[in-house]
Every structure is written in C-alpha cells, then in structure tokens.
Structure 1
Amino acid sequence: MTKRSNISFFFLVVTLLFLLHGSHGSRRPRRQGHVLIKSLLDSRKPRMPVPPVADEKSTLAATAFDPSKFSPQDGLKKGDRIKALPGQPAGGVDFRQYGGYVTVDGKSGRALFYYFVEAVGPNPASKPLLLWLNGGPGCSSLGFGALEELGPFRVMSDGRTLFRNPYAWNAVANVLFLESPAGTGYSYSNTTSDYSRCSDARSAEDALVFLLNWMERFPEYKRRDFYIAGESYAGHFVTQLARCVCRHNLQQQPPNNINLKGVLMGNAVLNADTDNRGMYDYYWNHALISDDAIAGIRKFCNFSVPDLGSSESPGCNDALGQADETFRDPLDLYDIYAPICHSERVTALPKTASVDDFDPCTDYYVEAYLNLAEVQAALHANVTKLHYPWQGCSDQVGWDDKPRTVLPLIRELMQHGIRIMVYSGDVDGVIPVTSTRYSINMLKLPVKTPWQSWSCRGELGGYSIVYQGGLTLATVRGAGHEVPSYQPRRALVLLTSFLNGEPLPRPVKA
C-alpha cells in the first residue's frame, strides 16, 4: 500500500465506522459528524490553497445584494402559523410556532425552510431572538437542533408522537431554526446545479437575505436583541453570517440594521490545523490510541498542510496506521462513553422517553416523523414535492470552499463588540475540547478570568475561562458533540447566563 493510499485508507475506515455504527450499513450520511469527517477527509486532499478569510473587496461586494433577492412579505406570517404538530402533547402548548419558506434567490428559485418557536409565557416580546444553525455542512437544523437538541419537542420511538423538552431554549429566547444551505432538509432550489456549488460565502449571503426578508415578515423582531448560535461545521456558518451582518450594519441605519449582540458555537470547527492536532491528542489523553501512535503523529504529521505531509513522511503514515486499529471496534466518537444504536426501526408503541437520558436511536425516530405527509403539511414544508425523502444530512450538497480557519473572523467580530461564547462537550471526540482550546489559544488573547468550575443547579456543570474582549470558552461536563442532546439542563444554564451577559454560576462553597 502506498503512502497516500495508506493515509486515505485510515480516514476511509474511520468514516465507514461512523456510518456503520449510526446507520447499520446505510450509504448516506446520517449525522453531523458523518459529514464533518468526510469534509475533513476532503480538506486533506492536495489542492490550491484557499485564503482563510475573503479579502475586503470581495466581502464588501457580497453585501451589495441584488434587489431581486428581496420580496414583499405582507400577509405571509399568518399563513406560516402552525396550528399544532401531529403527535404533540395533548392540551396544546404555551407558545406560538411557525414554519415555511423564504425565497433567497428568485432567479434560481432558491428557498430556505425555517421553523420558529416563540418564547414561552405571556410576554415573548421581552425576550431576544436566537437563530440556530446546524453543521455538516448540509445537516438539518430542524431535525437535529429542533427535534433532538434544544427545541420544545422530542420524538418518541414510534416516530409519530412528540414529548416536551423541559429544557428547551425557547424558555429564554424566541428561537428560529434555519435549514441551510439549499439542499439541506426541506430547503431547495429550482436550479439543481445550486446544490453542487454551495460554499461558506454563498451560505452566509443566503442566510443574511433570509434574515432580512424574514424580519419583514415578522417586523416585531427588527430591533430585537439578536444572537446567532450553532454547532459543528456551523463554527463556519455562525462566524461568516455574523460577519455579513456586521458589514451590512455598517451600511445601514436603525431601524434597518440587525441588532446583533452575540454568537454561541458548540464543538465548533474553527481552525483546521488545531482541530486535527487536538483530536489525536484527545484520543491519547482518553486512552483510545497508544503512546507509540501519538508520539509518531506528533513527530511526523504536519497538520498545517492539506495532505498532512504524507507524501514525504512514511513515519506519519505508520503512526496513523497504528491509530487506525483503535477505530476497528464500534465506538461513538460523538460521545466516547455513550451507548450506540442497535436498531434503526421505530416501535409500534412509544417507549418511555426521558430528555435526561438521550436515546442513541433518536435519528431514526426523527427521520420517520419528518417524512410523514401530515407532519409536512402541518409544517408547510415540502411544498414542491421534492424527489427525495427528508434526510438529517444531505448527500447532495457539494462544497466549493472550505477556509482552513475562521479565527480572523472571531477577531473581527470582537472588534465590532460582539460577545462570543465557544462551548464544548467534554466527551465529544469529533471536535473535542482539546481542539477548541488549541484553536482559541491561537488568538493569543489576554485572560480576564482563569479556568474555574461552573455550577448547574448545585452540580458541576463544567469549566470556563473568560478572555478580555468578550470571549468565553466553556466546557460542559458529560456532553457529547450535540451538547443540548446529551446535557440539556446544563446547556440551558449556559445559554441563559450568556443571554443575560452574566458569568456562569459559580459552585456554592459548603
């Protein structure tokens, strides 16, 4: 086996094991990490270098939108109101919910699907607006974010019945879930070539066009405090969109600007070099790979070049080959201590479910639910009758650009006064806390508050460090890649503190 084929084989094995343990042989990606691993593999192929941040001229041009991308929104809000979702708990809910499409490019017929839940309680107007984006790229914010993580409902094992999430984020915010880019979930384009030409830049532009049109449809949110949140590859989506919003605001005056206050990113892809290096260090620190393997990786593998330097480093190939042996056994790298799903079938009757005990087969329940005709009708989704079923992660979204870092964007956002929180589940092996710490350290920011523990209702919630300039790095104890799935209560405490501009709660001394 050649050097290059050996390294490709390693990543192929890892990818296949991800797919097999999550879908029992399904050929398409099912979870964010599946797509992310494929993305990381693609990024290691030799290619022309991609600038980490678009230059000033091209970025400013991206904010000069074609007027055809804006359309009248009068009366559309009423039609998007969801009376009730099939299978939702009896007795109704204490919030309004909406679903529908916003056209972001009339010429190509590109439209993005959204699901929106107002904050619970009698006065949602007193609470901010939060936009949630899942990663992949190409993974659904409706299927993952809304129905597996931070939304008001979870899906039971029969694939038809919903139960309430007592730690839903609409307890403290009005939450908007966006399926982006086109080709993800129910979002679509009438120009099929759009699916193969997705990119960070176009996704950010489409999301900004979506926001501006959506705020015309929901004008009461135009001057509301606004936050952008997401996880995994959404480390790119969140920072790119936030930068577009800031650039847009420089050209607008109130009330036409967007009142962006902060961004939150969970287990986020931030910087390719440190993401990869931190992943292997994490595996070693958790006894998943041997001392010999990590020593060889640290000595011979150069993660700062697209092909890991494999063409010149047989030592790197040997070390990665040793690491490869670890992943031949079933292992959920989204949560290295979690059980894996053993059946993709829904059940005739719903099993007893608990938000506090995440079911590893939830992906299958959500997929069954979102492919029900009555559910799509209630959501006002799939209006064009797509030729493929709803999928958690799209297998048709192609990506044109993968900047190797978004750290310069974080610096720029801080210069605009945007508060930032980067949080990480401490048992995630896809983008582990080690990677996140390495990436943030690259910014070389002065420390305001050193590492200290934070509390969640009297329990250890994790650890945090606060940097000067408005950036916080926090860990969430016992959480995997999708933090609100594995630790929903701690995730809500984290969010609440951030929205209130308060430090994470400190443990009470005995």
Structure 2
Amino acid sequence: MDNNMYSFISFCMLLLFSTFIEAAPNDSLITHLPGFNGDFPSKHYSGYVSIGKKNLFYYFVVSERNPGKDPVVLWLNGGPGCSSFDGFVYEHGPFNFQEGSPKGSLPTLHLNPYSWSKVSNIIYLDSPAGVGFSYSWNISEYITGDHKTATDTHAFLLKWFGLYPEFVSNPFYIAGESYAGIYVPTLSSEVVKGIKVGAKPTINFKGYMVGNGVCDPVFDGNALVPFTHRMALISDDIFQGVESSCGKNYSNPSKICDENIEKVYEAISDLNIYDILEPCYHDPTSQLGSKGNKSLPVSFQQLGATSKPLPVRTRMFGRAWPFRAPVKDGIVPLWPELAQTNSRDVPCFNDEVATLWLNDAKVRQAIHAQPENVSGTWELCTDRISYNHDAGSMIPYHKTLTLQGYRALIYSGDHDMCVPYTGTQAWTRSLGYKTIIPWRSWMSNGQVSGYLQGYDHDITFLTIKGAGHTVPEYKPMEALDFYSRWLDHKPI
C-alpha cells in the first residue's frame, strides 16, 4: 500500500470516528459536573425520552475503551421505586463521591478506577415514571406494574437508539439488581418480541445480567432460613424447630411455623440485612432508640399487619422483593412506616451524599434534569408510585430467553440477607439444564473471589465472596473483573 492510499484510509477512519462521537444529540452532552474538576475520560449525555405523558430520565456514559464496538448496557436499580442513580453514585458509575467539607456542602467527585464504563457504554435509567428524575404529566400513570414498566422501557429503548443511531449495531445487554430481577427478564422478553415483529430500529440484543435479584416467591421466600443457618446466625435447635414445624415451606401460615420463624427474626433483627458483615449507619435524627438498628423490614414479619415498632429501611423497600409481605391481588404494598419516617433517613445506610448532590439546582441543570417544581425532589427510593406485581414468577421468562440463545449471568453477593444466594442458587438449578461447568472457584487479582456453576444454554450462576446486596458497592474490583470478562466472552 502506498503512502497516499494509507493517508486516505487514515483520514477516512478519523472522519468516521469523529462522526461517531458527534452523532449523539449535542443538547444532551454534559460539559461539566459540580464537584468534579478535570476532564471526563469519555463523553457523557443525559436527558429525557418521552413516552406519551411520561418523561423517562437517563444518564449515558460512553465507553472509555472502544465506544464503537463495546456493548451498550442498560442498568436498572430495583424497587419498585429506586433510582438508578443508586448504581451511578454508589456502585459502578464513573465517579467516586467524597462527602463535602464542611458537612452539608456538595461532595467532591473523583474518577472511579472500577467504573463499568471502562469496558462498556452504559445507560442509567430512572424507571418507571415517578422514580428518581422521571415523571409524568398525568399522575394516574404512577399506578403501574411489571408489564407496563417493561413495555414503557422497551418504547424508551427504541426512541433512545433513534437518538443515538451510532450504537444500534453494538451488542446490547440489560442488567440490574434486586427488584430488577423482575425488570430485567420482563424487559428482555419485550425486546425479543419487538425484534420478532420487526420493531425499528432493530436492537442487537445479546443477553442479560441479574445481581441479587428476586425471581420467584417460593424460592425467594424459602431462602432466608437456610441462609441464616449456613451463616451461623441461628442455632441448630432453632433451625430444626423451623424445619419440623414448617416442612421447609417457610411461608406456611400455621401458628406453630410462625412461632418458630419468629425466633429466626429475633436472632437477625439487629443485623445489616444488605451485608451481615457490615455495621449499620444510624441517622442521628432518626427515632430508632439506642439498642441495635431495629431495621427488620415488614417483609420479614408474619403475614398480615405487625404491631412491632420496626422502621423499614427505605433501601429495603426500594431494592428487594418482600419475602413474606402480604400481597393482595398482586399489589406490592407500600410500607406504612414510610409515611412515618423521612424516606432519606435510612437505617444502616447513609445516602446523604447522593441526596444532597442530586437535589442541587446546579447539578440538576448540568445533567439536564428538570427542577424540583417539575420532577419533584430526588430520592433514592420513592413511595409516590403504586406498583402491581403482575408478571408472576420469572422462571418461565428465564427459560424462554435462554432457550432462544440469549446469554444470562445470575450473580449473588454471598453475604446478602436481603435476597440470599440460597434462593438464587436453588432456582437456577431448578431450570433443569445440564451442568457444563461444575462448581468451582473463580479468581480475581490472584485470589479466590467467589464460586460459579455454568449450565447449558449459556446461563451462569456466580457468587462474589464477602459481597452484600449491591455487589459493586462492596467489591468494585472483583465486580468489574467478572463483568468485563463476561461481556468479552472470556472465561470467568
């Protein structure tokens, strides 16, 4: 090849790359962020996509590696009712947030060496409308459910790829944690249906990831007791008493079963349910009293109302399936304690940094979020939506998706008591697929970082040793490691 031809090809590649970067809507480009001094390692975009009267807010981080080829990943936090800025601020976003000084001032942002944008383009979406910065002009649409959320999010994706057509050919994955164990499979199913009927643009969907995700009321409801026993949180006597009275069905409403399960609840009531190894943050303004955190959620109580003064951790409400909460006609209840406590006073978890930063007028302006008088105050989790769990068990969804060739990574922090690994391990095994990779450890940075088992149809169950409910929050290096390997089709 002569020099002229080489120069011409180089010019074309440069032009193509420049066109790729500039094709995104310029009015969505983020040029600065309060609290951060320096250059972004990649481009950031944010804004709203309208679905009827609903306005869904996204924050898009372009990959730092190879944006034209790296996967596009949609990240969804749980709930129903939690903002995906939870993942952005506390888990795998491009920045680490340091509390401001003096207290009450804006936090300082530093680059996160373990951001998932190191290896992927990632969209953080507040969904459904009413969550985070997303809102609707019609408040009746804050009454929603699994199916409606999935169809709205699919509509969002089609419009989003229309705004960012340069990413349509990239591999696309859906990921999330906790109640996103419902969001992810139901949305994946909608995306696949859209592909089959020729919805445009054609999304290059490849698979999905679920972390400490709820799945099925029976498997999830029966996960807690074995977990507490294996983790030495209850005695053999307590465990055997529950086993004999409940018959391994711990949702059994019989009086003797409930009496024995109450002993389990009493034993774990002062623990951090998101990571049993971690201490609990106590908000100094809360009315929790001096003994323990008393953060046992309604979901750990007997069926029906309880008279015990046990304030609900907002984060529990926002992120986890209620193990034993009463679900009437498919309605996931909004916990009554939320009306009695400030939703930002979260036992065991301090979310002041995110709340302060995301409610600052200059921050909202910088990220193109509507002011408070339009979209409301940003909260980690909200109680302004009424949510109908109408999709049932996710096991049929997982089977249908994996049998059609879509990849699945199901991972669990093994010290999470909120959605314990015991239930997730049981339901993945219940699919009945042939074991392709027998149970073995996986390594990160030369150390055993957890265990995995691989099944036919490209579904993998993976644990992260010592991690809690929000895995990248507790084990950021290991999380980026398994995430990047899985996306790159490399062995974990």
If the TM-score is normalised by the length of the shorter chain, which range does it land in? Answer: 0.7 to 0.9
The structural deviation recorded for 1:221 is 1.2
Separation in 2, partners of 1:431, 1:369? 29
For residues 177 and 321 of structure 1, do their structure 2 counterparts lie closer, same or farther at Cα, with a shift above 3 Å needed?
A: same
Aligned to 2:429: 441
> Deviations 1:401-449 (Å, cap 9, x if unpaired)?
2444101100111122100000000111111111111111221111001
> Alpha carbons of 1:406 and 1:152: their partners in 2 closer, same or farther (altered >3 Å)?
same
1:221-262 C-alpha deviation (Å, 9 max, x unpaired): 112110110000101100000010111111117x73211111
1:184 aligns with 2:131: yes
Look up the match of 1:147.
89
Which letter does structure 2 place at the counterpart of 1:160?
P
Q: CA deviation at 1:96?
A: 0.5
For residue 282 of structure 1, the aligned residue among 227, 235, 238 is 227
CA distance in 2, matches of 1:469, 1:76: 35
Between the aligned partners of 1:150 and 1:294, the Cα distance in structure 2 is 37
How far did 1:128 drift?
1.2
Q: Does 1:337 align with 2:282?
A: no
Match of 2:61 in 1: 117
Deviation at 1:295, TM superposition (A): 2.5
C-alpha RMSD of matched pairs (Å): 2.0
Taking the TM superposition and a 5 Å limit, the aligned residue runs for 1:73-222 are 77-88=25-36, 90-104=37-51, 106=52, 109-121=53-65, 123-142=66-85, 144-158=86-100, 159-195=106-142, 197-222=143-168
Q: Displacement of 1:76 after TM fit?
A: 8.1
| Alpha carbons of structure 1 residues 76 and 126: separation in structure 2 relative to 1, 3 Å | closer
SS in 2 for 1:136: coil
The count of aligned residue pairs is 404
Q: Shift of the alpha carbon at 1:395?
A: 1.1
Q: Partners of 1:293 and 1:189 in 2: how far apart?
A: 49
Equivalent-residue separation in structure 2 for 1:302 and 1:204 (angstroms): 36
Q: Secondary structure in 1 aligned to 2:223? A: helix
- Give SS of 1:198's match: strand
Deviation at 1:386, TM superposition (A): 3.6
Superposed counterparts of 1:397-416, under 5 Å: 397-416=385-404
Contact 1:132 1:229 in 2 (8 A): yes
Distance in structure 1 (CA, Å) of the matches to 2:139 and 2:244:
45
Q: Report how far residue 384 of structure 1 moved.
A: 6.8
Encode CA deviations 1:89-114: one digit per residue, 9 max, x unaligned.
x221120001110011x2xx111100
Task: Give, as a single letter, the amino acid of the residue that structure 2 aligns with 1:215.
Answer: F
Q: Structure 1 residues 304, 298: closer, same or farther in 2, change over 3 A? A: closer
2:70, 2:120 within 8 Å by CA — same for their partners in 1? yes
Distance 2:205 2:283 in 1: 43
Alignment of structure 1 residues 408-487 onto 2, 5 Å:
408-487=396-475
C-alpha deviation, 1:75, in angstroms: 9.3
Aligned to 2:399, the other structure's residue is in SS state helix
Q: Tell me if structure 2 keeps the 8 A contact 1:95–1:120.
A: yes
Cα–Cα, structure 1 residues 409 and 298, in superposed 2: closer, same or farther, change >3 Å?
Answer: same
| Residue 327 (str. 1) matches residue 268 (str. 2) | yes
Q: Structure 1: which 4+ aligned runs deviate by more than 4 Å?
A: 302-305
Deviates more, 1:376-385 or 1:239-248: 376-385
Taking the aligned partners of 1:155 and 1:161, their CA distance within structure 2 comes to 6
- Give the corresponding residue for 1:317: 258
Amino acid at match of 2:256: G
Change (3 A) 1:401 1:361: closer
Matched with 1:273 is 218
Deviation at 1:321, TM superposition (A): 1.7
**Secondary structure at the residue paired with 2:26?**
helix
Indicate if the aligned counterparts of 2:23 and 2:166 stay in contact, CA closer than 8 A: no
Q: Flag structure 1 segments of 5+ consecutive residues without an equivalent.
A: 1-73, 346-359, 505-510
Q: Rate the CA distance shift 1:171–1:387 in 2: closer, same or farther, 3 A.
A: closer
What is aligned with 2:288?
Answer: none
Aligned-residue sequence identity (percent) comes to 37
Question: What amino acid does structure 2 have at the position aligned with 1:251?
Answer: V
Q: Which residue of 2 is the match for residue 507 of structure 1?
A: none
Distance change in 2, residues 1:296/1:404 (3 Å): farther
Is residue 83–residue 131 contact of structure 2 (8 Å, CA) maintained in 1? yes
Aligned partner letter, 1:408: P
Inter-partner Cα distance in structure 2 for 1:286 and 1:402: 33
Give the CA deviation at 1:156.
1.3
Deviation for aligned residue 1:297: 3.0
C-alpha distance in structure 2 between counterparts of 1:210 and 1:94, whole Å? 26
- Checking the alignment, whether the CA contact within 8 Å between 1:130 and 1:174 is kept in structure 2 is yes
Structure 1 position 258 matched with structure 2 position 246: no
Residues 279-319 of structure 1: CA distance to partner in whole angstroms, max 9, x if unpaired? Answer: 111011112223333233333337879xx331xx1111111
- Letter of the 1:293 partner, please give it: I
Instruction: Give how far 1:388 is off.
Output: 3.8
Q: Which amino acid aligns with 2:409?
A: M
Distance (whole Å) between structure 1 residues aligned to residue 23 and residue 284 of structure 2 = 41
Supply the distance in 2 between the matched residues of 1:370 and 1:383 (Cα, whole angstroms): 11
1:496 counterpart letter in structure 2: S
Q: 1:362 to 1:96 in 2, by over 3 A?
A: farther
Q: Is contact 1:157-1:362 (8 Å) kept?
A: no
Q: Return 217-226 or 76-85, whichever deviates more.
A: 76-85
Which residues of structure 2 form unaligned runs of 5+? 1-21, 101-105, 286-347
Once the two structures are superposed, what CA deviation does each residue of 1:132-190 show, in whole Å capped at 9, x if it has no partner?
00101110102x11111011012211242112210000000000000001111010011
Q: Is the 8 A contact 1:344 1:361 kept in 2?
A: no
Question: Matched residue of 2:385: which SS?
Answer: coil
Q: Which amino acid aligns with 2:116?
A: W
Give the Cα separation in 2 of the matches to 1:295 and 1:275.
Answer: 20
| CA shift in 2, pair 1:387/1:146, >3 Å | closer
